[in-house]
Amino acid sequence: MESRLSSLKVEDLRTTNAAMTRCISLAKLAAKSDVPIVLLGETGTGKTLLAQAIHNSSARAQGPFISFNASAMSDTLLESQLFGHEKGAFTGAQQAIKGKFELANEGTIFLDEISDMSPLAQVKILRVLEYGEFERLGSERMLKTDARIICATNVSLRDRVRQGKFREDLYHRLNGLTILIPALRDRREELPGLIANELKVSALRLGKKITAIHPAAMDCLLVHDWRGNLRELSHTVRTMTLFCDGDVIMPEHVHFPPDLEPLQTSANSSEKNASHAHPDYDGGDLLLASAVKRHVRFVYKQANQNQRRAAKLLGISRATLSRHLRELNHK
């Protein structure tokens, strides 16, 4: 997965969703400049992928793309990781190594999970940004780096600043432009296309010939809340491909990763199970519009035609539900 997409450019990204369109336009702008970027999005929304795509589309594309996860780093390792060290700088330093900032020279340094950086890491990074200089541990020689900075965070950095957990001066240095990547559940209209793509890739990889997704299986995928976003989508599609021994994906092939499984109320789990056998799903076509209609009709019936409850179960407003029901002549 990672290698398939690591050469992606921002120009290759496609979407039909308004928030994602904005995200891609900003990414294109970001690629044309050198301003520091903050990518804000839930886990699995594609922050790492977008950072790499911005780099690939930028004037630095021929230079290195160096990732650094600041949250996983102990303070003792931090400095040598960021700035490198000379041979003998500390016990166990058997040879000189370059740090991430030095390695990223003429390229991009990607600071992942920036909101969880320790106070020490924040000070050290601020210093490089302010002076553009640093030294390896065990050396007094000042080194300069010309690295473009892209950061990723899954929580608002401004909130972290307000909570006193993130330095305000660093926040302003890093935040040339914030790009918000929408959660997958906020761009559900793209699910069928994304699922189809993933299915093509995983079927090819696993040597399976899969021709369709049964509407009831598609329905499970369309109503899921995808808290793990694209990462969860790609795992789920891979698993269902693996479990499918025929040429059509059936509902029983769809398993969501257990640690991401939403807490199910008895109501929605019985609805999920009932949907497999529900006559509304038999013999239907594979169009998304038809799946949506079938699903709205199904949930509305399950909710005993109670609009408030049906809207809640569907995760949509009463007004949207009314519109769907009008289309179904189900007033």
Element (H, E) at 238: helix 229-243
Measured from the CB atom, the residue of 220 and 260 that comes closer to ligand ATP is: 260
**Minimum distance from CB of 312 to Mg ion (Å)?**
33
Output the smallest distance, CB 45 to ligand ATP, in A. 5
Instruction: Give the count of beta carbons closer than 10 Å to the beta carbon of residue 134.
Output: 20
- Tell me how far apart the alpha carbons of residues 47 and 155 are, in angstroms, rounded to a whole number: 12
What are the C-alpha distances in Å from 219 to residues 89, 200, 226, 272, 283? Answer: 59, 19, 13, 9, 14
Q: Is 57 in the site for ligand ATP (CB under 6 A)?
A: no
Tell me, rounded to whole angstroms, the distance of Cα 324 from its chain centroid: 30
195 or 291, CB closer to ligand ATP? Answer: 195
Is 50 or 97 the residue whose CB approaches ligand ATP more closely? 50
| Stretch of 5-13, 42-50, 66-74, 303-311 contacting Mg ion, by CB under 5 A | 42-50
Is 230 a binder of ligand ATP (CB under 6 A)? yes
- For the CB of residue 54, give the shortest distance to Mg ion in the complex, in Å: 14
Among 1, 89, 126, 155, binds ligand ATP (CB under 6 A): 1
State which residue, 114 or 152, has the beta carbon closest to ligand ATP: 152
Within the chain, strands assigned E span 37-40, 65-69, 84-85, 97-98, 108-112, 133-134, 143-144, 148-153, 177-180, 212-213, 248-249
> What is the enclosing helix (H) or strand (E) of 239?
helix 229-243
- Residue 304 CA neighbour count, 13 Å, CB half: 1
User: Interacting stretch for Mg ion, rule CB under 5 A, among 12-20, 44-52, 83-91, 101-109?
Assistant: 44-52
Position among 27, 30, 44, 218 found at the interface with ligand ATP (CB under 6 A): 44
How far from 240 is each of 164, 168, 206, 246, CA to CA, in Å? Answer: 44, 45, 11, 11
Contact (CB, 8 A) for 303 and 313 = yes
Decide: is 5 part of the binding site for ligand ATP (CB under 6 A).
yes
Binding status of residue 46 toward ligand ATP by CB under 6 A: yes
User: Binding residue for Mg ion (CB under 5 A) from 24, 40, 48, 154?
Assistant: 48
The interface partner of residue 93, options being ligand ATP, Mg ion, none and the CB cut-off 5 to 8 Å by kind, is: none
Residue nearest to ligand ATP (CB): 46
Task: For residue 292, give the amino acid letter.
Answer: V
Q: Give yes or no for residue 58 binding Mg ion (CB under 5 A).
A: no
**Quick check: 115 binds ligand ATP (CB under 6 A)?**
no
Which residue in 81, 145, 234, 275 binds ligand ATP (CB under 6 A)? 234
Q: For residues 8 and 55, give the distance between their C-alpha atoms in angstroms, rounded to a whole number.
A: 10
- In terms of Cα–Cα distance, which of 76, 71, 74, 121 is closest to 101? 121
The reply to whether 81 sits near Mg ion by the rule CB under 5 A is no
Report the partner that residue 234 touches, choosing among ligand ATP, Mg ion, none (CB closer than 5 to 8 A by kind): ligand ATP
> Footprint of ligand ATP on this chain (CB under 6 A)?
1-2, 5, 41, 43-49, 152, 154, 230-231, 234
> Footprint of Mg ion on this chain (CB under 5 A)?
47-48
